């Protein structure tokens, strides 16, 4: 195929056959003291090493590191086939385990950066990598240089790169908006649950003072099942992501795992008992037959389920949970210990007011998250159709 499925109308010429080595020069320039050190990630391209939330081995000496210039393409030899590649945003140093490619004047590095994200190109990168097992695959620079490809003119490269950069800018703006809403919600929750901010009744009068109660006094913890369905959707610890239900498994009772025990009703709250600091809980709102894993505590509020759901995400509640957890690598709390935790609770009417305010913010956050997901799908589809 010498032309992609989708092109900008001003470009008609077929993409010319060549090899990757014709577009780049392998650079072995050594690092120098004072330059920032960057790492290559699978999902964010090149990032400053000190921004990574993980332990890094001690750096190589400056003279052993490689130097990258702005616009150089840098990839991880061991992870290139998975998409571990990026474009240097500034003059910097990188690990000697990386490969630095300097584009020639007819090569737009961002064009290649997007190209490397396509499934067809990732397949080629994997095909030219060498190793006895998947975790030992390496793409050496000489093998990268041999990869056959079809390349458009520099003008078309620029046009394609600019198009996807515009999409990425829109995605970045949406992510920033979502983060801003989350920060605002966190601040509002802190003020509401610390009683710095109180609602009043519609007539302007104050609600009653909050009362100290055990969680088991305001919710039914693991309520008994009424009828266990023969066929159901199973919610395990992998089925909830950032408070959203995703990919529950369809199961028959006779084949279900022993942990499938919590028959759910709309409004139930699922609290993750293992590693509760992740706050990966769920306000269940589905119709139909669903059963949750015993890895969750099932909470059925006596008043507002939504209020309880938000309460579980306060920093104070999480601290109280962690104090009662056992285990170090995978701290966990039992449902009985969870129910003993004391919480401050307002009257039912104020619970509803608080829940409504926080639910409205969640709806706004969810709307932006959906926009991000749709745009990412849009971008992924175009990546497959705008490259050869």
Q: Looking at the predicted structure, is the pLDDT value of residue 170 above 60?
A: yes
Domain boundaries 16-151, CATH class: alpha beta
Fold exhibited by the domain 211-345? Adenine-n6-DNA-methyltransferase TaqI; Chain A, domain 2 (3.90.220)
Distances from the Cα of 244 to the Cα of 109, 240, 275, 303, angstroms: 37, 5, 17, 22
Q: Where in the chain is the domain with CATH 1.10.287.1120?
A: 153-206+346-387
The structure's pTM equals 0.86
Q: Which residue has the tokens 């894993």?
A: 293
Q: Provide the pLDDT for residue 59.
A: 56
Q: Provide the pLDDT for residue 132.
A: 85
Q: Looking at the predicted structure, is the pLDDT value of residue 327 above 50?
A: yes
The closest alpha carbon to 93, from 71, 113, 67, belongs to 67
Residue 244's pLDDT band, with cuts at 50, 70 and 90, is very high
**Cβ atoms 263, 228 nearer than 8 A:** yes
> In terms of residues, how long is the chain?
388
Q: Does domain 153-206+346-387 have CATH number 1.10.287.1120?
A: yes
**Cβ atoms 208, 347 nearer than 8 A:** yes
59-72 residue pLDDT tens: 556 678 999 999 99
Q: Provide the pLDDT for residue 226.
A: 84
Residue 36's pLDDT band, with cuts at 50, 70 and 90, is very high
Rounded to an integer, what distance in angstroms lies between the CA atom of residue 131 and that of residue 78?
Answer: 9
Q: Looking at the predicted structure, is the pLDDT value of residue 54 above 70?
A: no
Rounded to an integer, what distance in angstroms lies between the CA atom of residue 292 and that of residue 282?
Answer: 11
Rounded to an integer, what distance in angstroms lies between the CA atom of residue 340 and that of residue 320?
Answer: 10
Q: Where in the chain is the domain with CATH 3.90.220.20?
A: 16-151, 211-345
Angle at 336 between CA 333 and CA 340, to 5 degrees: 95
133-150 residue pLDDT tens: 888 899 999 999 999 999
Q: Provide the pLDDT for residue 284.
A: 98
């Amino acid at each position: 195929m010498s032309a992609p499925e989708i092109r900008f109308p001003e470009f008609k010429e077929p993409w010319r056959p060549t090899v990757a080595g014709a577009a780049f020069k392998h650079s072995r320039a050594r690092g120098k003291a004072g330059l920032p050190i960057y790492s290559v990630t699978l999902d964010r391209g090149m990032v400053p090493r000190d921004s990574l939330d993980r332990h890094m081995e001690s750096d190589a000496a400056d003279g052993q590191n490689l130097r990258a210039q702005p616009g150089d393409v840098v990839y991880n030899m061991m992870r290139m086939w998975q998409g571990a590649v990026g474009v240097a945003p500034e003059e910097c140093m990188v690990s000697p385990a990386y490969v630095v490619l300097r584009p020639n004047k007819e090569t737009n590095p961002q064009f290649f950066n997007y190209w490397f994200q396509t499934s067809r190109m990732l397949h080629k990168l994997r095909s030219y990598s060498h190793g006895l097992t998947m975790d030992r695959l390496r793409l050496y620079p000489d093998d990268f240089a041999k990869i056959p490809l079809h390349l458009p003119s520099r003008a078309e490269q620029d046009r394609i790169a600019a198009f996807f950069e515009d999409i990425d800018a829109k995605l970045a703006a949406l992510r920033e908006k979502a983060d801003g809403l989350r920060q605002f919600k966190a601040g509002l929750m802190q003020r509401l649950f610390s009683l710095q901010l109180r609602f009043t009744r519609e007539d302007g009068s104050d609600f009653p003072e909050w009362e100290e109660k055990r969680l088991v006094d305001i919710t039914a913890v693991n309520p008994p099942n009424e009828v266990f369905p023969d066929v159901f959707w199973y919610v395990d610890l992998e089925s909830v992501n950032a408070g959203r239900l995703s990919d529950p498994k369809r199961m028959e009772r006779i084949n279900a795992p022993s942990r499938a025990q919590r028959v759910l009703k709309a409004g139930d709250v699922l609290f993750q008992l293992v590693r509760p600091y992740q706050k990966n809980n769920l306000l269940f709102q589905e119709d139909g037959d669903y059963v949750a894993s015993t890895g969750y505590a099932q909470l059925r509020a006596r008043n507002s389920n939504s209020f309880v759901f938000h309460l579980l995400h306060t920093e104070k509640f999480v601290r109280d949970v962690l104090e009662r957890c056992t285990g170090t690598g995978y701290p966990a709390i039992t449902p009985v210990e969870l129910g003993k935790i004391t919480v401050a609770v307002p009257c039912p009417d104020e619970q509803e007011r608080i829940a409504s305010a926080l639910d409205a913010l969640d709806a706004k956050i969810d709307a932006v998250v959906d926009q991000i997901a749709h745009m990412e799908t849009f971008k992924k589809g175009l990546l497959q159709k705008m490259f050869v």
